[in-house]
Amino acid sequence: MSIRDILKALSDGKISIDDAEKMLQLHKIEYVEDIARLDVGRELRRGVPEIVYAEGKEYSDLVNIAVTALKSKDSIVISRVKQEYIDMLVGELMGSSNSSSSNSGGSRHLTVKSSKKGRIIAVARREEEKEYDDSDGSKKGSNSNNNSSSNGNDNGYDYYTGTVGVITAGTSDIGVAEEAKLVAEAMGCKVITSYDVGVAGLHRLFPILKDMLTKDVDAIVVVAGMEGALPSVVASLVDVPVIGVPTSVGYGFGAGGVAALTSMLQSCTLGLAVVNIDNGVGAGVLAAMIAKRVARYRAEYIKAKADVDTNTNIVDTKVNQ
């Protein structure tokens, strides 16, 4: 729950002052033996889940950190997981969920998403287990990341959580794109993906962008290696923020993502932000923060407009009588 959710729940009388005070302990630190210090209040402050960087960590340490974090958090993300750890770690987390639910009346059911290409795992309480929506405090019953929301428009766009587009130039860039996708979903956004639409066959891009704009994406993450030209092209064609992610795909002069990063930083197209090489997580977080903020104010506008329309109808009815 965000601070907004907690205050809404308190205002509606759904939680007590004592409960709200416990939830608002922003500076609480969770110690995991002598290997990690978890910032319990990060998601509360920023809307960003705990993201565990798995590089260099032993498997047992990852399990310990993840299980401890889930005792006090709704969701965590584990990035840069070794390929051989992914299936084992997913099974371990699902097992801890079943064990926890049997001991706590079924209140800790988890959903676990993973991507072997992206070497990333996202863990969260199932949507039906969450008591409040991310935006307006109302109860939710379905997963808005995969289904059209009743709060959205006819295109399946969700007005309340925001939508992020993720595009790659080539298939070799998909791993980094999957990082951005799972992180944005973990933050509550709907994500639309389209891969392998780079400038080597530029005609592939146009129907993809048309579809994303029709669905009113709030931000687009564009992942590209080699010469890194695609983000500049996309940014020149759309009226939403574009986040470029250079990847280490490439060889020869400018290898390791240096050419792609340089190209994106030198872009003359306005409206393009650039993150570091292979930083799919950072791009996903930024895109989701933009999308969620836009969605929140859009939802408030829709509600205010609905209230005005309702009041107008009431006045018209009285006049006609």
Predicted local confidence at residue 298, as pLDDT: 86
Q: Give the containing element (helix H, strand E) for 281.
A: helix 280-320
Per-residue tens of pLDDT for the chain, all 321 residues: 667 778 888 899 998 988 887 777 654 666 556 666 666 666 667 788 889 999 999 999 999 888 888 877 778 999 999 999 999 999 988 876 555 544 333 345 788 999 999 999 999 876 444 443 333 333 333 333 443 333 445 444 455 689 999 999 999 999 999 999 999 999 999 999 999 999 999 999 999 999 999 999 999 999 999 999 999 999 999 999 999 999 999 999 999 999 999 999 999 999 999 999 999 999 999 999 999 999 988 888 888 887 776 766 666 666 666
List the chain domain ranges: 3-132, 163-289
End-to-end CA distance of the chain: 46
Predicted local confidence at residue 316, as pLDDT: 62
Predicted local confidence at residue 107, as pLDDT: 41
DSSP 8-state class, residue 20: H
Predicted local confidence at residue 31, as pLDDT: 56
Radius of gyration over every alpha carbon of the chain, rounded to an integer in angstroms? 21
The answer to whether residues 259 and 228 touch, using CB atoms and an 8 Å cutoff, is: yes
The answer to whether residues 244 and 238 touch, using CB atoms and an 8 Å cutoff, is: no
Cα–Cα distance measured from residue 136 to residue 122, given in angstroms and rounded to the nearest whole number:
24
Predicted local confidence at residue 248, as pLDDT: 97
Cα–Cα distance measured from residue 64 to residue 61, given in angstroms and rounded to the nearest whole number:
5
Predicted local confidence at residue 29, as pLDDT: 62
Cα–Cα distance measured from residue 299 to residue 321, given in angstroms and rounded to the nearest whole number:
33
Predicted local confidence at residue 318, as pLDDT: 61
Cα dihedral sign for 161, 163, 168, 171?
A: positive
CATH of span 163-289:
3.40.50.1970
Predicted local confidence at residue 297, as pLDDT: 87
Cα–Cα distance measured from residue 78 to residue 51, given in angstroms and rounded to the nearest whole number:
6
Cα–Cα distance measured from residue 82 to residue 315, given in angstroms and rounded to the nearest whole number:
64
DSSP string, 181-248: HHHHHHTT-EEEEE----GGGGGGHHHHHHHHHHTT-SEEEEEE-TT--HHHHHHTT-SS-EEEEE-S
Predicted local confidence at residue 159, as pLDDT: 55
